[in-house]
Each structure stands twice: as structure tokens, then as C-alpha cells.
Amino acid sequence: MIKVHCFVSCVCEVIKKTKGVDHRPYYFGVWDADFDVLDNGVLKYHSDRIDHHFFQTWYEMLYGIKLYKWYDEEQSKQENINKLQRLLENKSPHQHVMVMLDLSMLPERENKFHQRPFPHYVMLESTENEAEWFMYDPDFRWEGILPKERILVAIQEPAVGGGYYFDSETIIAPTTETVKAYFNTCIKLHCNPMTEAITEIIKGYIVGKEKESMSKLPTALKQLPVLAIRKYAYEHAFAFFWEALGHDEKGFETWCDEIERLVNGYTTIQYRAMKLAMTQDLLLAEDIFVKLEEQNLLEFKIKQGLQACFQAWLILQHKKEVML
């Protein structure tokens, strides 16, 4: 499965390694996860107005693990780094420490989105060598030892700030009722927030308050690829229900193709927006809005298909309970 959200990937890694516990329901919260649109119409996957309280709460409700936020925005970078070093020095084998850093400051790491800065959560551990730390990045499937000072430089960047720790010793499997409540909380059957936001951003650069800055539209949508991959979270949900229901694999692959089409659709929108900004030809805007409507209809179709799987899963769970 494609990894789609660095915070979620970090906390799910211990779930994946625990027998009898399924990490896939946690991804229900990813396909429409929070993003931000700045006052000048710039789409952002990370900003000061976004926190992870929703994921914190549901991680504990689903898996019984409390996430503790150790990073304090009211304190200086150095105070937070001192706290991080104490955590790494004193942590138990069951404890896991996450930190946000600017991945673009570590050029040996792949930055396929070409973002700078690139706020990104990783997990850290100390090593026998005081000058090195072990970095684990579940989202990009990378692990290795790096100089501690290089990692600290990436953490010290002004554009980033965040960190959590948790103890995985008390993991529990989510109950049917909790999965049901989480799915119903996450599924937005009557709106697609990201597509709606992109539509409003483009309108703003065509006829709204940013119309004198149309050349900046590509910058406004620069982070769209980072957000688009979150739609792969639908695959995790379909896989979870599909496996439980015992459906044939071909049907699952058909939905995966639709999800892939949804993700690629945002790339098309981004390219068309770049062309619009270059040419200033407003006729191109019509093609963009047509594509946005296609995206809306496709995502509603995916959500309805997933809702049907969810309902079938609920019936199956009820039958199992009756038989016990």
C-alpha cells in the first residue's frame, strides 16, 4: 500500500508489527484530512492552523495508545531540542519518539515533491555513537543512520515544529463499534473539501481578489501533489472491508484504478493551471472547471462504493455477533 500521510504512517508502524491488530482503519481519517488555504489563496498541507488533535484522539480510541505532544510552541527551538534529546536518552524499548523536521535540509533523502521547506514527521532513536542518530521514516520507507548535527539543523528550521511520543506496550485491537464510529466521522458523502478548495482558489485567481496575480497560480497549487496522494487512503479502507467480506480481488483492483484516476486528475489540474498562468487565456479555465467537476463526481462515486462496503461489513459483523 502507498504511504500517504507522514504523521499517520509513523504511528501506524507499530500497529502493523502487532499480530492481530489492523492498522488500515486508521487511514479513514486521511482522505479528507485537514489542509489550509492562506489568505492569498495558497494551498498548504501544513500550517500553524493545522494540528493533529483529531488523529491523537482517534489513535487512543481505536488502539488504546495515548499520543503525548512533547513539542511546545511556546518554548524556544533550543528548549524543545533539549527535551527531544532527553526523551531519546531515556526512552524505553516500547517508547517511540516522533519529530517534525524540514526534509529538504537532508539532500541525501529523496524529496520527490521538490518542496522547500518540506515539513515531515520521522522517528528517531539514539545510537551507541553520540554523534549519530538512527532515523526511521515509515512514510517514505527509509531508515538509516545520519549525523546528529545534520538532523538537528533540519529540526531547527523556522518553518517546522512538532513532536510526539507514545508507548506501544498496551496496543489493543479496535472494536467494531469504534471502527463504525470512526468511519462515520470520516466519510463525507456530500462534499469533497479539497476539490472545493481548489475550485475556490482558481476562481480567486481568475475573477477574485488575486486576479491581478494570475501568474502566481502555480505557486498557489504547488503543494497539491502532497495532498493528492492522501486519496490513496481509500485503498486502505477498501482493502480492509474487501478482505473481511471475502470479495474477489478483481473488484478491489477496479476500485484501485478509480482511485489512481482520482489522484492523477489533480496532476492534470495542476498542469492546466500552470498553462493558464503562462498564457493568461481564460478559455483554459473552462477546461479546468470541467476537470474539477469530473474529480468531484469520481470521488463521490468512490465514497459511495466505500459506503456500500462499510454497510455490508456492518451486516457481517452483526451476523458474527449473533452466532457467538
Which tens digits make up the pLDDT trace of 72-92? 999 999 999 999 999 999 999
Distance CA 300, CA 280 (A): 31
Which grid cell sits at 168? 506501544
Query: Looking at residues 247-273, what average pLDDT do you find?
Result: 96
Task: Tally Cβ neighbours within 10 Å of residue 177.
Answer: 9
How far is CA 191 from each of CA 18, 196, 311, rounded to the nearest angstrom? 35, 8, 20
Mean of pLDDT values over 172-177: 97
- pLDDT band at 16, cuts 50/70/90? very high
pLDDT digits (tens, 9 = 90+) for 35-54: 999 999 999 999 989 989 99
Reported pTM: 0.94
CA torsion 11→16→18→22, rounded to 10°? 100
pLDDT at 257: 98
> Residue 176: pLDDT above 90?
yes
Dihedral sign of CA atoms 75, 76, 78, 80 in order: positive
Residue located via cell numbers 481564460: 282
Mean pLDDT score, 91-119: 86
Q: What percent of the chain has pLDDT over 90?
A: 89
- Cell 470520516 belongs to 186
Residue 113: per-residue pLDDT:
63
Q: Is the pLDDT assigned to residue 132 strictly greater than 60?
A: yes
Q: How confident is the model at residue 14 (pLDDT cuts 50, 70, 90)?
A: very high
Give the integer Cα–Cα distance in Å for 115 and 92: 34
3-state secondary structure of 29: helix
- Determine whether 227 is exposed, middle or buried from the number of CB atoms within 10 Å of its CB (0-12, 13-18, 19+): buried
d(CA 23, CA 16): 6
Cα 133–Cα 135–Cα 139 angle in degrees, nearest 5? 170
pLDDT band per the 50, 70, 90 thresholds, residue 252: very high
At 61, the pLDDT band (50, 70, 90 cuts) reads: very high
What is the residue-averaged pLDDT of the chain?
94
Distance between CA 232 and CA 66 in Å, rounded?
Answer: 26
In this prediction, residue 2 carries a pLDDT of: 62
What is the CA angle 6-12-16, rounded to 5?
135
pLDDT band at 3 (very low <50, low <70, confident <90, very high): low
> Above pLDDT 70, what percent of the chain?
97
Give pLDDT tens digits for 292-301: 999 999 999 9
Q: For position 110, what pLDDT does the model report?
A: 66
The per-residue pLDDT for 322 is: 85
